[in-house]
Amino acid sequence: MLSGVTIFAQVPTKPLSPPLVTDLYSADPSAHVFDGKIYIYPSHDIDAGVPENDNGDHFDMRDYHVYSLEAPGKKIRDHGVALDIKQVPWTGKQLWAPDAAVRNGTYYLYFPAKDKQGVFYIGVATSKSPAGPFRALPEPIKGSYSIDPCVFTDDDGTSYMYFGGIWGGQLQRWRTGQYDSAGVLPQDQEPAIGPRMAKLTNTMTEFAEPVRELKIVDTAGKELLNGDNNRRFFEAAWMHKYNGKYYLSYSTGDTHLICYATGDSPYGPFVYRGVILKPVLGWTNHHSIIAFKGKWYLFYHDSTLSGGKTHLRNIKMTELKYNADGTIQTISPYLD
């Protein structure tokens, strides 16, 4: 156990959902509905032979595949390599969790990577097809940093990017607004570091405003503290909207939960509401949420396909359900 959360000692025998992809290892699934289909933009896990550490150096991914589904339960289609790290001139290594968006017939793939000095930034690549292949811009997005981009387009057509992750995601190194390799986390009784966000321009390749930090608070309006590991933000921010409310969901990292908070604006503040997904096999927990033909779905990953190897994961999906008051029903990823 860790902070009251189950850490699996062996592979669960009854997963709630099967892997969507079985011939490659995949993780961090960002799902979207484009052209009436579900498109999934995951990381592509490989065994790079890099020793495991808390900075995640063993997650040394080098390209992206795009997948599509005609509908849940149908056969998944692999559209092949959409972008390779060799095609991105500014990168050094580690193509981590991506996301995608569309505007005016152009599709955008957003991806974090370390530059040649080992600092994470967020790049963007474009295509005329949601399946790619994508062509990367020569430089990362100006003003971007850290990892895990999520692009949310509101009902009025305005798009926002949410991003960031602590520990290996380097967000603690940007606490002053400038990169500091010696940057550290707050003390346990100090407010936790929040995810970052900014509105995008209509080009979808630049920030239209300065980056700001989001506030996640409890029901009394007090910011969650850094020591509140079961509720505070770690990485994997995702935004969706349900019945007029904005839902910010995220991973708690070392306690392995997917939690959520709600607000009345894409800028927050966001009030913590509860747990969406309990811990999965493997260290990481990363998700996305979409609506498709009247139902809602949660996409996530675990490590059942590799027998529990935390850097060799597989993407999954399951139905997501809301209560009458707008709260989300907690999902257990295993039946045993």
Residue with tokens 């700001």: 212
pTM equals 0.97
pLDDT at position 283, please?
Answer: 95
The percentage of residues in the chain with a pLDDT greater than 90, rounded to a whole number, is 96
The enclosing H or E element of 197 equals strand 196-199
The enclosing H or E element of 63 equals strand 63-69
The enclosing H or E element of 298 equals strand 295-302
pLDDT at position 1, please?
Answer: 36
The enclosing H or E element of 40 equals strand 37-45
**Strands of 268-327, DSSP E:** 270-277, 288-292, 295-302, 314-320
User: How far apart (Å, rounded) are the C-alpha atoms in residues 148 and 122?
Assistant: 8
Overall average pLDDT of the 53-70 stretch? 96
CB distance 315 to 301 below 8 Å: yes
pLDDT at position 10, please?
Answer: 74
User: How far apart (Å, rounded) are the C-alpha atoms in residues 110 and 160?
Assistant: 12
For the annotated catalytic residues, the residue numbers are 28, 235
CA distances from 200 to 141, 153, 204, 241, 295 (A): 10, 10, 6, 18, 28
CB distance 323 to 281 below 8 Å: no
CB distance 280 to 286 below 8 Å: no
What is the per-residue pLDDT across 175-212, written as a single tens digit (0 to 9) for each? 999 999 999 999 999 999 999 999 999 999 999 999 99
Question: Any bridge partners for residue 212, and if so which?
Answer: 197
Overall average pLDDT of the 140-163 stretch? 98
What is the per-residue pLDDT across 313-329, written as a single tens digit (0 to 9) for each? 999 999 999 999 999 99
Q: Which two tokens stand for residue 237?
A: 């921010």
pLDDT at position 2, please?
Answer: 44
User: How far apart (Å, rounded) are the C-alpha atoms in residues 140 and 158?
Assistant: 21
The count of other CB atoms within 10 Å of the CB of residue 75 is 7
User: How far apart (Å, rounded) are the C-alpha atoms in residues 292 and 294?
Assistant: 6
What is the per-residue pLDDT across 237-262, written as a single tens digit (0 to 9) for each? 999 999 999 999 999 999 999 999 99
Q: Is the pLDDT at 7 greater than 80, yes or no?
A: no
What is the pLDDT of the chain when averaged over all its residues? 96
pLDDT at position 300, please?
Answer: 98
> What's the farthest any 2 CA atoms get from each other in the chain?
50
Residue 227 DSSP label: T
What is the per-residue pLDDT across 268-289, written as a single tens digit (0 to 9) for each? 999 999 999 999 999 999 999 9
CB distance 237 to 231 below 8 Å: no
